[in-house]
Amino acid sequence: MASIRLSVPQTARKGEVIELKALIQHPMESGYRRGSRGEQIPRNIITRFECLYDGEIVFSADFHPAIAADPFLTFYTRAVRSGTLAFRWTDQHGEMWSDTAALTVT
């Protein structure tokens, strides 16, 4: 289980632009490096990140080998209604990690 850290405001005013932050523990091994014996270290990266606000994608990103380990994203969305923000990472093998946070809009 990968460690995930989320930063989501608990409450926001309707129409306010809110900052969301998401950090996940992942080696993001590029596939270009070699080990101490010269053997190639196989690529192992997250390829897709999505943030869903009540089921609707409000932010997504495709990751490539140049992204550093433990990728950290900061992005914004507009608070329109109370609901759940779901954060979802998928790696190259199809394994998925996710976490959610509740947002109350007043």
Partner 1 sequence: MKRRSPALAIAALLAACTPSPTTDADLPAADIQSGYAFLTAETQAMQNDSFANPGFLWVDLGSDLFESAADGAPSCVSCHSEGLAGVAATYPAIDEASGDLLNVEGRINRCRIRHQNLPALAYEGGELLALTAFIANQSAGTPISVSTTGASASHYRNGRDYFYTRRGQFNLSCHQCHDQNWGKRLRGDTISQGHGNGFPAYRLEWQTLGSLQRRIRDCDSGVRAEPKAFGDPAYIDLELYLSSRASGLEMESPAIRR
**Binding interface with partner 1 (CB under 8 A):** 3, 5, 7, 21, 23, 25, 27-28, 68-70, 72
Q: Cα angle vertex 89, ends 39, 29, to 5°?
A: 15
CA distance 106 to 23: 27
Least distance to partner 1 from the beta carbon of 82, Å?
Answer: 23
Least distance to partner 1 from the beta carbon of 24, Å?
Answer: 8
- β-strand pairing of 46-53 with 56-62: antiparallel
Least distance to partner 1 from the beta carbon of 79, Å?
Answer: 20
